[in-house]
Amino acid sequence: MERTSASIALAVVLCASGSSTPVTAAPNARGDASHAALAKVAAAPASAKAAVDAKMRVHFINVGQGAATLFEFPNGAVLVDTGGEFNGMFDSNAELDAYLSTFFARRQDLGRRLTSLVLTHPHLDHTRGVANVLAHYPPKNVVTNGKTVGDGGALQVLAQNYAADHEGGPDPVGFVAVRVEQIPPTGLTNAVIDPVGGSPVDPKLTVLWGGIATNPGWGDTTFQNPNNHSVVLRVDFDQASVLITGDLEKKAIAAMLAKYAGSNLLDVDVYEPGHHGALNGTTQDLVTAMSPDYAVFEVGPKDRTGGATAFGYGHPRTDVIELLEAGVSKTRSPLTVWAATGTTNFELTPITKAIYATGWDGTVILEAGADGVFQVASPGGPAATLLDLNTATVAQLEALPRIGPTKAQAIVDYRTAHGAFATVDDLDHVPGIGPATVEAVRALVTIGPP
């Protein structure tokens, strides 16, 4: 994000997996790491906690293949979506509940209540935890797109009914069903959408998109897709800004860009990539409009297979990572991760920019202050792991970009016939491999001892 004032103070705290490979740790280890990050904050001395509490923390909570993002402010907490993935290997409800329980144990001043619950749209990977959240961390406000169609529709209705049941009395719950037609050119905000006050920094929450009443000419399939009715939320904390687009897809993204053309409402510091890194959830025009410093995917790991998993959907896509590698301004310690070229097809992909993911890093916490000093508190994350050409198997080699099974077998056959590689450039001697392929894999491989 371009700025005319001092750069924003941000600290990145990652819940490292402790793994030496780019594949995520086991679910229980990841959950333990997530909770340990909160414990570390809670254990800070009183003077340090006072300084931290003058900031905004954005918790990108690891709920597997799904989304749950907690905005923590000095005077409140806003949860956007409730995850997440549920199968024999991972239970997002248990992970989210444990995380929120630890959070509220630290923030006892909030009385175990959310200031607001925002549901971007009624898909189960965004609404699965609604019932538990309402029961244990009841929100003072609820924001939805007003829609009920989708596999998570019943849970969105539950949240809307909760608000209706508590709209009277001494402690009423506010409710807004966002309609695009009601959003002005400056975005929509009111006491329900933006219920968090504060001094000296008053956070600002603005809705930029939501449910659409009339088809704008997209075609029935696109218009009926719940993703395109996602609530889009911009959160500002002084000069810090975050954008969450839910699962908004290309047609709706283009319409949103047109709606705010000529303004800086989409120019942000931090972007949560839309639709968990799906090919249809991020566009070049959107990245250009945002000019983000950071991107944080809410996505599951590659190593849990099945239908409703990152592996089954092919998230995040390498094309999206390439867009962000070109468009994100900040950097992180280089690492290699598994990213998808298609459904259930993954390859090792280098990351050099400040691109994070719950599937690689576990829960990610971004911390922003108003003092204008930029800081990365802990790079964390899994260590970058290079593939050793002298020991790699065919299966490992074929996951490299531009290799595949045929070239992978050729590498192993050449190594068997001629001995260990002395340099990465020796790959050029392998039949079927030339200089372009060598350059494509150079940053991902190494030469170990013979």
**Strand segments (E) across 7-115:** 9-14, 56-60, 69-73, 76-80
192, 167 in Cβ contact below 8 A? no
What pLDDT shows up at residue 5?
Answer: 39
Instruction: Please name the helix (run of DSSP H) or strand (run of DSSP E) that holds residue 136, with its range, or none.
Output: helix 130-136
The CA-atom distances, in angstroms, between 324 and each of 10, 12, 284, 300, 362 are 19, 18, 9, 19, 20
The CA-atom distances, in angstroms, between 311 and each of 125, 360, 448 are 15, 13, 30
Residue 377: pLDDT over 60: no
Please state the domain extents for the chain: 9-382, 388-446
What does 164-220 look like in DSSP terms, one character per residue?
HHTSSSSSPPEEEE-BGGG--TT-B--TTTS----SS---EEEEEE-B-SS--SS-H
Q: What is the mean pLDDT of residues 287-304?
A: 94
Q: What is the mean pLDDT of residues 235-249?
A: 95
Q: What is the mean pLDDT of residues 193-201?
A: 92
In 3-state terms, what secondary structure has residue 123?
coil
Q: Which residue bears the tokens 């929120």?
A: 100
d(CA 361, CA 298): 10
Q: Is the peptide bond before 316 cis (omega within 30 degrees of 0)?
A: yes
d(CA 37, CA 280): 32
What pLDDT shows up at residue 447?
Answer: 87
d(CA 102, CA 79): 15
Q: What is the mean pLDDT of residues 334-350?
A: 92
Q: What is the mean pLDDT of residues 352-380?
A: 73
pLDDT confidence tier of residue 147, bands split at 50, 70 and 90: very high
Per CATH, is 9-382 categorized as 3.60.15.10? Answer: yes
Residue 139: pLDDT over 90: yes
206, 233 in Cβ contact below 8 A? yes
pLDDT in tens, 77-127: 999 999 999 998 899 999 999 999 989 988 999 999 999 999 999 999 999
Taking the CA of residue 128 as centre, how many other CA atoms within 13 Å lie in the half-sphere pointing to its CB? Answer: 21
Q: What is the mean pLDDT of residues 22-48?
A: 42
Q: Indicate left, alpha or beta for 441 from its phi (over 0: left) and psi (-120 to 50: alpha).
A: alpha
d(CA 87, CA 65): 11
What pLDDT shows up at residue 29?
Answer: 36
In the chain, % of residues over pLDDT 90: 69
270, 58 in Cβ contact below 8 A? yes
pLDDT in tens, 383-438: 335 788 999 999 888 777 778 889 999 999 999 999 999 999 999 999 999 988 88
Q: Which DSSP state fits 260?
A: T
Instruction: Please name the helix (run of DSSP H) or strand (run of DSSP E) that holds residue 52, with its range, or none.
Output: helix 46-52
Residue 21: pLDDT over 60: no
pLDDT confidence tier of residue 372, bands split at 50, 70 and 90: very low
- Average pLDDT of the chain is 86
Per 3-state DSSP, what percentage of the chain is helix, strand, and coil (rounded to 5)?
35, 20, 45
Tell me the CATH class for 388-446: mainly alpha
pLDDT confidence tier of residue 34, bands split at 50, 70 and 90: low
What pLDDT shows up at residue 188?
Answer: 98
What pLDDT shows up at residue 404?
Answer: 85
What pLDDT shows up at residue 109?
Answer: 93
What pLDDT shows up at residue 20?
Answer: 30
Identical fold for domains 9-382 and 388-446, yes or no, is: no
Q: Which residue bears the tokens 């069903």?
A: 177
Instruction: Please name the helix (run of DSSP H) or strand (run of DSSP E) that holds residue 141, with its range, or none.
Output: strand 141-144
Q: Point out the least confidently predicted range of 18-32, 86-100, 207-221, 354-368.
A: 18-32
